Amino acid sequence: YWVQAERQMDCNWELETDVSISSLAEWLISEVPPGTNIGFDPFLFSLETQEHYAISLESSSRSLKSIPVNLVDQVWKDRPPLLPDSLTRLPDRVIQRSWQLKVEHIRSLMRDNPYKPTALLLSAL
């Protein structure tokens, strides 16, 4: 993905390929000075992830603040439209297991969850 990203990214963006950073929060703490507000798009992170980052950042004197717009959408004016019928199914060998096994895994997580959910909402693939 890095090669594709390098080819497609505008020169104003920097691709972070350092795999020695174990988490985004760790990277932000090392790169952003204390007392800084860090903006994020709340539609791109689960609530659990947002809470994790907020706790990690607040304990290091940095704050996570949601922003009302997606900044990438603001600067990527010539972005090609997403085609509604262009879903690509990867072969099972690529994703390591069949869709049936994935569904069974989700069902088992729901069964084992103390809140006993009866539905799952998928907002993105």
pLDDT digits (tens, 9 = 90+) for 70-106: 888 888 888 888 777 767 777 888 878 888 898 899 9
| pTM for the model | 0.51
Nearest Cα neighbor of 78 from 1, 10, 3 is: 10
Q: From 3.30.420.40, 1.10.287.130, 3.40.350.10, 3.40.50.10330, which CATH number describes the 21-77 domain? A: 3.40.350.10
Nearest Cα neighbor of 73 from 84, 65, 81, 64 is: 81
Cα–Cα distance measured from residue 64 to residue 61, given in angstroms and rounded to the nearest whole number: 10
pLDDT, tens digit, for every residue of 30-57?
899 999 999 989 888 888 888 988 998 9
